[in-house]
Chains A and B, each alone.
Chain A
Amino acid sequence: MTRTTRKERNAFYARTWGGKNRHYDIFKEGAIALTITSILVVALSALFSSPDDPSLTFKGWAQSAPDNFYATAVQQLAGTSGTATYGPPYNDGDGVSVGALTLQKWGGVTHPVDSVNDLVITPLSSQVEPSNVTSALKTWNAAAPDQQTTWATAYDEAVQATADDNGDLHLDAVATGDYGPVPDLATGLLSMANSGAYDNAMTAQGQFFQTDQTKQLLMMGDGSHMDGIATDKTLQGNTWGMMNEAGSWPGQIWLAFWSVWYQLPAFNNADGGTLTDNADAIIFFILMGLILIFILVPWIPGIRDLPRWIPLHRLVWKDYYKKYGRFTS
């Protein structure tokens, strides 16, 4: 099509329609549509209900996987947990980067989380404890930071060293060594979890009104309990988890264009992908690019020409073309 013709055609499309009209009641159509939609929603709700898997608790974790909870407590003290090594916005560190773009660091530490105190020491100190835990706390608090790190790191390594081929820990086989008060602190935390007191302490965090679950979720995510359940429910990122839903309900299919990238081998942990560390950042930028393209479709040659190349529109307007003609060569 010549440029002049394209301009003429566009001017025609832009003009107020001066051709044939038909009687059309938009509000009536809306009322009918609202009725249909409402009936559908009520029917679907009555037939299928909606998902509501109960939230996980630390009590549940401690009861189903006590060794894992114990080991996670040790990791918090040693500073080797996911939370402790996360970086901004929780603590200092580099975080992930995409080339020279270190956006995670640029965000700053705006939600500080101290894995040692926030997740272990403070909750333990918030209630009356058995005497061994009380004296362990006293010893810990009196020690220099370097000494604390030495104890905790040594014990963390010793605990992790008991892992068998399946990855299961054997806490009864931890080598003897100088671990200071760390074993008693971990035992104390496990008891708190078993009784539900850890849930209470982490929910309130010493305040009356507390609506920020960041610390609890970070602790919960550091262990294998929540992670394992998510894997069972096919909710991991590399199994289309972004799109899936618990049970047999439909999930978020509208996230397909985001979820798909996590399946690619390059981003996929399971396949040892090379980009898995900063997959989230890279994929975010890919998505921003796709969204920009999506918004700018009318101005992108090629994409905006697809409707002409694949003329599905002829089905939409076939009666109109038959009655009133079509611009042809």
Chain B
Amino acid sequence: MNLLGIDLNQPATYKDIWEWVSVSMPNLIVIIIMVALFVAALLLPFPKGKDES
């Protein structure tokens, strides 16, 4: 079932980073998203709450 017809059923492209590090684009995207979420979580302001004692 493929709503927008985005077909991932074809070979991935690979990114060679160092001599022996070869990462697939989908994996690289997931890693980038993880790092981005982590950084965003640290930097984005959190809603101020009602302080009680």
Listed in ascending order, the chain A residues whose CB lies under 8 Å from chain B are 20-24, 45-49, 51, 232-234, 239-240, 243-245, 247-251, 253, 263-265, 312, 315-316, 319
Contacts and interface: CB of A to CB of B under 8 A. Distances in A.
B50 A23 contact: yes
B26 A248 contact: yes
A240 B8 contact: no
Contacts of B30: 250, 253
Contacts of A253: 27, 30-31
Contact of B12 (A24, A234, A315, A316): A234
Size category of the binding interface on chain B: 20 to 34
B21 A263 contact: yes
A233 B26 contact: no
A315 B2 CA distance: 41
B6 A315 contact: no
B52 A22 contact: yes
A46 B25 CA distance: 20
Interface of B: 1-4, 6, 8-12, 14, 20-27, 29-31, 42-43, 45-46, 49-53
15 contacts: A21-B51, A22-B52, A23-B52, A46-B2, A49-B2, A49-B8, A51-B9, A243-B23, A245-B24, A245-B26, A247-B10, A249-B12, A249-B26, A251-B27, A316-B42
Contacts of B22: 234, 239-240
Given A45-B1, A234-B14, A264-B20, 11 more contacts: A22-B49, A46-B1, A46-B4, A47-B3, A49-B9, A234-B12, A245-B24, A245-B26, A247-B10, A248-B25, A263-B20
Nearest to A260: B21
B53 A20 contact: yes
Contacts of A20: 51-53
A263 to B, nearest CB: 5
A45 to B, nearest CB: 8
B3 A248 contact: no
Given A253-B31, A316-B42, A247 B49 contact: no
A221 B7 CA distance: 29
A234 B51 contact: no
Quick one: which of B12, B25, B43 has the most chain A CB within 10 A? Answer: B12
Given A20-B51, A22-B50, A49-B2, A248 B12 contact: yes
Contacts of B51: 20-22
Nearest to A265: B20
B9 A247 contact: yes
A232 B11 CA distance: 9
B12 A247 contact: yes
B31 to A, nearest CB: 6
A24 B50 CA distance: 9
Contacts of B8: 48-49, 51, 247-249
Contacts of B50: 22-23
A251 B26 CA distance: 8
Nearest to A50: B8
Contacts of B31: 253
A248 B11 contact: yes
Contacts of B43: 315
B21 to A, nearest CB: 7
Nearest to A268: B20
